[in-house]
Structure 1
Amino acid sequence: MKILAFDTSNKPLSVAVVDDGKVLAHTESTEMKTHSISILPDIKEALEKSNLTVDDIDLIAVAKGPGSYTGVRIAVTVAKTLADTLAKKLVGVSSLKLLAANGDQTHILVPLMDARNDNAFAGVYQTVDGKLENIIEDQHTSMEKLFEKLAQYDENSLEFINATPRLQELIQNQFPNAQVITTENSLPDAAKLAQLAQTTKPVEDIDSFVPTYLRLTQAEHDWYAKGHKDDGNVSYVEEV
């Protein structure tokens, strides 16, 4: 299976083309402000390096969030457009799960994205029968509440991934024996995204596929403040 995978939910833009587990091409850019400009040229470059055209691709894989609001929207929009226009299968993978793939698969993996003020986007993952399974759902949480949920595990088995200096400080104060992988050593990798996509169910309705933000944007706060409600059927994203 030929997979085109890309992620713009974090600082790097990562693009990969993978064929039956073999990485044919892999490109990365660390300038987030240029993601909207460089994503399509980077995809084109990756395909050219693979000696493939986009028509040869069987499946498109995208990191669906959480992460940078703008970054997540860029990748999801491109993925939806390509999948719909070219009639390709589309898979969305949690950006936190993608970070978890950087960890030691024998550990309890806690991927993080710093959300400021001692808060984070976080999930908890464990490898079961060779597959990463989400054992505590992805969420926007305070580090204090996250630590309370992690108290059930042996701290020697915990591995935190993508920790900024401030998050690393908090972690080491609470779990001094836990493993910590810092942000610079745990960049998301589109080749690993393609690998995760192989065991992820494709999106059934491309039109309704939206990013996973896990917290309200300022626009959503303003929208709800004006009296709009999310009734479970029509959300802010769908309405807009």
Structure 2
Amino acid sequence: MKILAFDTSNKPLSVAVVVDGEVLAHVESTEKKTHSISILPDIKNTLEESNLTINDIDLIAVSKGPGSYTGVRIAVTVAKTLTDTLSKKLVGVSSLELLAANGDKAHILVPLMDARNDNAFAGVYQNSRDNFVSIMQDHHTSMEKLFDALKQYDESQLEFINATPRLQELIQNQFPNAKIITSENSLPDAAKLAKLAETKKPVENIDDFVPTYLRLTQAEHDWYAKGHKDNGNVSYVEEV
């Protein structure tokens, strides 16, 4: 199977072409460009390096969030457009599950995305027969609440992934024996994204495929704060 995979949920942009498990081309872009500018050229260059065209691709794999609101929207929009236009299959993978793939398979994996003010997007995963099983649903939470939920596990088995300096400080204070992989050492990897996508069911209805944000955008928060209600008749999106 020929897979084009890309992730824009974090600061780096990662694109890979993987054919039958072999990585033919892999681009990691950390340049100070917006993902909207660089994603299509990076996809083009990756395909050219693989001696393939977009029409040769069987499956498109994309990180669907959570993460940067803008970044996630860009990747999902590009994926849906390519899928719909070219009649390809599409698989969306949790951005947190992708981060978990950077961890030690023997540990209980806690991928994080710093959401500021001692909050985070977090999930808890365990590896089972080379598949990552979610044992705590991806969610937006305070680190305090996350730590309370993790006290049921032996801290020496915990491995926190993608910890910023502030999150690392909080983790070390609470779980001094836990393993921590910093943000610099756990960047999202599109080649790993392609591998994860191989085990997942393709999206059935492209129109229904949307980013996973896990919390309201600031605009939505402000809209609801003004007294608007999402009661099934008029939602924020419909009103805008």
Q: What's the TM-score once normalised by structure 1's chain length?
A: 0.96
- The alpha-carbon deviation at position 225 of structure 1 amounts to 3.3
The 10-residue stretch of structure 1 (222-231 or 152-161) with the greater mean CA deviation from structure 2: 222-231
Q: Match for residue 104 of structure 1?
A: 104
Distance 1:214 1:234, change over 3 A: farther
Letter in 2 for 1:98: L
Question: Aligned pair 1:48/2:48, yes or no?
Answer: yes
Q: How far apart in 2 are the matches of 1:198 and 1:238?
A: 35
Distance 1:123 1:220, change over 3 A: same
Distance 1:184 1:153, change over 3 A: same
Q: How far apart in 2 are the matches of 1:120 and 1:126?
A: 19
Secondary structure of 1:159's partner? Answer: strand
Letter in 1 for 2:179: Q
Q: How far apart in 2 are the matches of 1:238 and 1:56?
A: 37
Per-residue displacement from partner, 1:6-49 (whole Å, max 9, x unpaired)? Answer: 00000100000000110010001113642100100000000000
Distance 1:90 1:153, change over 3 A: same
Per-residue displacement from partner, 1:89-144 (whole Å, max 9, x unpaired)? Answer: 11110000000000001100000001111100000000112200110000110000
Identity of aligned residues (%): 83
Distance 1:159 1:11, change over 3 A: same
Q: Match for residue 64 of structure 1?
A: 64
Matches within 5 A, 1:107-122: 107-122=107-122
Q: Match for residue 156 of structure 1?
A: 156
Letter in 1 for 2:211: P
Q: How far apart in 2 are the matches of 1:237 and 1:165?
A: 35
Q: How far apart in 1 are the matches of 2:37 and 2:93?
A: 23
Q: How far apart in 2 are the matches of 1:31 and 1:228?
A: 40
Q: Match for residue 15 of structure 2?
A: 15
- The alpha-carbon deviation at position 229 of structure 1 amounts to 2.9
- Note the residue ranges of structure 1 that are not aligned, 5 or more in a row: none
Q: How far apart in 2 are the matches of 1:175 and 1:32?
A: 35
Per-residue displacement from partner, 1:179-234 (whole Å, max 9, x unpaired)? Answer: 00000000000000000000111111111111001110011113323444334687
Q: How far apart in 2 are the matches of 1:236 and 1:15?
A: 33
Distance 1:231 1:195, change over 3 A: farther
Q: Match for residue 208 of structure 1?
A: 208
- Note the residue ranges of structure 2 that are not aligned, 5 or more in a row: none
Distance 1:211 1:151, change over 3 A: same
- The alpha-carbon deviation at position 239 of structure 1 amounts to 6.1
Q: How far apart in 2 are the matches of 1:239 and 1:4?
A: 35
Letter in 1 for 2:183: T
Letter in 2 for 1:8: T
Distance 1:236 1:24, change over 3 A: farther
Q: Match for residue 81 of structure 1?
A: 81
Secondary structure of 1:195's partner? Answer: helix
Q: What's the TM-score once normalised by structure 2's chain length?
A: 0.96
